[in-house]
Structure 1
C-alpha cells in the first residue's frame, strides 16, 4: 500500500510542476508535447480546434502513456499509463476543467470568447492515472520531430554574422 501511495504522489507532484508533458495515445506513432493542468487527480487538456494543440491518437475511452520531465534538470522523471475520457461541453467536469485551463492558456487570440470557442470547436480531455508508473527505458527514445511548418529551417542571412559582431564591438 505504501508503494502505491508513493507512486501516486510522484505522478501527481511531477505532473503538477511540469509545464509540458509528452503524451502518446494508443494510435499515435510518437509522443507529442502538450501543455496541461493537473486538476482533481487527472491531467486536463484542451485541443483539436483552430489555434489549439493537436490531440492526435487520444480518444474517449482509450489509453495513453504520459511522460513527465523533471522541472529542475529537464530529464525524464516518470512515465505513467492513463485512461482517456472526454468531457462533454457544459458538463460539470468540462466546466471545472476549462476553469483551470483558462488560467494557463497563453496568448489566446480571442480572450473572453475562448470558452465559447472551446465548447464549439475543441475537445477537453482528462487523462487519469491507470496503474503504477512504468519502468524508464535505458535508451534515449529520440525520434524525428513531427512534420510542422514551424520547424522549417531557412539559410542564415548573409549579413547576420556581421550584425552580431558589430553589436559586441559597441558594448
Structure 2
C-alpha cells in the first residue's frame, strides 16, 4: 500500500514531467473525444498548454470544446518518441479578456509564417479560438505497442517524381 507522502511525491513528479516535457516540445498530439490524434503547435504558459486554431489558415481543433477533456501526448524534441501522456481539461478563453491577451502574447511569438504579422491577434480575436489545456492529474501509462495509423485525409498531394538529372544539378562541383 502506498502512503499519502509517496502518492503526493509521485503527483509532484508527474506534474514536473508534464510541464518540462510540454514546455520543451514544439508539438503536442491532442485527441478530443471521438477524434483522432492531431499534432498541434502550442505554448506552455502559467501551468497549461495553449493552442490557437479553427480559423482560416490556422490549425484545426476538432473535438476540443469548452468544458471537455482531451488526451495529450508529448514527444521528445530531439528523438521524437513519446515521453508522457496526460489528460487535459479544455477551456476556451473569452476573446479580448486579460487571460486571452496574456495567452495570445505568448502564442504570437511562437507562430511561424503568419500571413498578417502584427495584425494576427486581431484576426485571432475575430476568427479563431484560443484554448487552454490544463493538466488534470497523474500521467497515463505509455502504450506497449506501436500506434501507427493511416494519415488523416488532406487536400495536399504528392508531387511528381524528381527529374533524373536533378541530383547532378544540385550536387555538381564547381570548377575552380
TM category (shorter chain) comes to over 0.9
What is the aligned partner in structure 1 of residue 22 from structure 2?
Answer: 15
Structure 1 residue 91 displacement after superposition: 1.2
What is the aligned partner in structure 1 of residue 80 from structure 2?
Answer: 74
Map residues 5-44 of structure 1 onto 2, 5 A cutoff. 5-28=12-35, 30-44=36-50
What is the aligned partner in structure 1 of residue 91 from structure 2?
Answer: 85
Misfit runs of 4+, over 2 Å: 165-171
Structure 1 residue 155 displacement after superposition: 2.9
Higher alpha-carbon Rg: 2
**Farther-moved stretch of structure 1 (114-123 vs 140-149):** 140-149
Map residues 15-164 of structure 1 onto 2, 5 A cutoff. 15-28=22-35, 30-150=36-156, 152-157=157-162, 160-164=163-167
| 3-state SS in 1 of match to 2:72 | strand
1:81-139 alpha-carbon deviations (Å, 9 max, x no partner): 00100000011111111010011111111111111100000000000001211000011
Unaligned runs of 5+ residues in structure 2 are: 1-7
Structure 1 residue 166 displacement after superposition: 4.2
Count residues with an aligned counterpart: 167
Q: 8 Å contact 2:15–2:137 — kept in the other structure? A: no
Q: 8 Å contact 1:37–1:100 — kept in the other structure? A: yes
1:43-82 alpha-carbon deviations (Å, 9 max, x no partner): 0000000000000110000010000001221101100000
TM-score normalised by L of structure 1: 0.93
TM-score normalised by L of structure 2: 0.91
Q: 1:167 to 1:84 in 2, by over 3 A?
A: closer
Aligned Cα root-mean-square deviation (Å) = 1.2
Structure 1 residue 6 displacement after superposition: 0.4
